[in-house]
Amino acid sequence: MASLPYLIGGLIILAFAGDYLVQAACAIAARLRIPPFVVGLTVVAFGTSAPELLVALKSVWVGEAQLAIGTVIGSNIANILLVLGVPAIIAGTTCDQPLVRRNYTYMLGATIVFMAFCLTGEIGFYKGAILFTLLIVFIVVSLFRARNLGLPVVDAADPGDKRDLPSGGRTSVYLLIGLVGLPLGANFTVDGAIGVAEAFGLPKDGVGLVIVALGTSLPELAASVVAAWRRQSGLIIGSVLGSNIFNILSIMGITAMVAPLPVSAHINQIDIWLMLAAALLLGPFALQRVTITRVAGLFFVALYGTFVYFALLA
């Protein structure tokens, strides 16, 4: 079946292109002396969300809004149950980062606002603008909060910080790869996902919920596994919360401002509630700032396996 290679190839291109784009953006930001906290909150967050954004835009362009919405919902579920669960099995995932409670509360709030918009049946331009405005508010408040807490903002132009940065020439090549690869990968991914859904009789929002969402979340999963293996899992929850916030507010916000997003009954009756359940499941760990243990990690992963089964096969 021709669609499956397109889907797999598209996801691979997205992963590599997104990684190169983030490396190039970080190198440029460092040379401009932008503080690391700002880089992480803006450049890296937008860069790691770029694959999902391009998939969403391509989906609405070809009239498959359910694929776009399903990808965001599925990515948020995978981020919590897999990206946090798998490293917890290896070494436990700590939840003691600064601002973790505030960021969790903001993620939960963004989830609820998004759900409310979905339940109206369509996310149009003005709702998308509200979501994107909330993202800007989140970034601005985070920057002021970080300054008040005295979080480190080292000089990113310091020679010691440049030792692992690509050279100017390589940065340009990485940027070009990212800018060319992302739309190309998105095109292959969406076309392949639609073909796979039609060939196997799968719901398109289910393909987005699981296959596309999991594919675009694989880089974060790989990074979290490496961090857990090196006993450096403290940063994982911060990146997951940030990714989920950006998925909802930037990807759905920008996409809805480009074209209206009709929401299917299945998404409103089941999918958004599963996303909320995953968000609430993380609550006790984030709010109490306790470690996600191996037992909890196994439970998270088992829940994700159950979710995949019902999303695709039930």
Work out the pLDDT band at 35, boundaries 50, 70, 90: low
Higher pLDDT, residue 140 or 47: 140
Helix (H) or strand (E) holding 151: none
d(CA 87, CA 107) in angstroms, rounded, equals 21
Least confident of 90-104, 136-150, 153-167: 153-167
In a domain, 195, yes or no: no
Name which of 47-61, 64-78, 160-174, 281-295 the model is least confident about: 160-174
For residue 45, what are the domain limits?
36-152+201-312
The average confidence (pLDDT) of the chain is 81
Q: Residue 133: is its pLDDT beyond 90?
A: yes
**Candidate from 57-66, 87-96, 140-149 with smallest mean pLDDT:** 140-149
Distance, CA of 212 to CA of 209 (rounded, Å): 7
Element containing residue 123 per DSSP (H, E): strand 122-123
Average pLDDT over residues 83-92: 89
Does 235 map to a domain? yes
pLDDT band at 229 (very low <50, low <70, confident <90, very high): confident
- Return d(Cα 84, Cα 89) in angstroms, integer: 9
Whether residue 180 lies inside any domain: the answer is no
Is residue 132 in some structural domain? yes
For the chain, the distance separating the N- and C-terminal CA atoms, rounded to the nearest angstrom, is 23
What is the structure's pLDDT at 134?
96
Average pLDDT of span 240-269: 91
Mean pLDDT of 185-191: 76
Asked whether the beta carbons of 52 and 75 are under 8 A apart, the reply is yes
Does the structure show a pLDDT above 50 at 48?
yes
**118-148: buried (b, 16+ CB within 10 Å) or exposed (e) per residue?**
beeeebeeebbebbbebbeebbeebbeebee
User: Do strands 261-262 and 122-123 pair parallel, antiparallel, or not at all (unpaired)?
Assistant: antiparallel
Arithmetic mean of pLDDT, 277-284:
96
> Is residue 96 included in any domain, yes or no?
yes
Cα 16 to Cα 39, 50, 172, distances in angstroms: 20, 12, 15
User: Is residue 280 included in any domain, yes or no?
Assistant: yes
What domain count does the chain have?
1
pLDDT, residue 157, reads 39
pLDDT average, residue stretch 175-197: 78
Angle formed by the axes of helices 65-78 and 294-312, to 10°? Answer: 160
Q: What is the rounded distance in angstroms from the CA atom of residue 285 to the CA atom of residue 153?
A: 27
pTM: 0.80
Q: Is the pLDDT of residue 61 over 90?
A: no
Query: Would you say 234 and 300 are in contact if contact means Cβ atoms under 8 Å apart?
Result: no
At 296, which CATH number?
1.20.1420.30
- In this prediction, residue 162 carries a pLDDT of 45
Separation of alpha carbons 32 and 24, rounded Å: 12
- Confidence (pLDDT) at 163: 45
| Residue 61 domain flag | yes
Closest C-alpha among 229, 217, 204 to residue 64: 204
pLDDT score of 160: 42
- Please give the Cα distance from 43 to 37 (Å, whole number): 10
Nearest of 7, 100, 14 to residue 49 by alpha carbon: 14
**What's the pLDDT tens digit per position in 148-162?**
666 554 443 343 444
User: Residue 231 pLDDT more than 90?
Assistant: no
DSSP structural state of residue 269: I
Question: Is 252 inside a domain boundary?
Answer: yes
Q: Quick one: pLDDT at residue 85?
A: 92
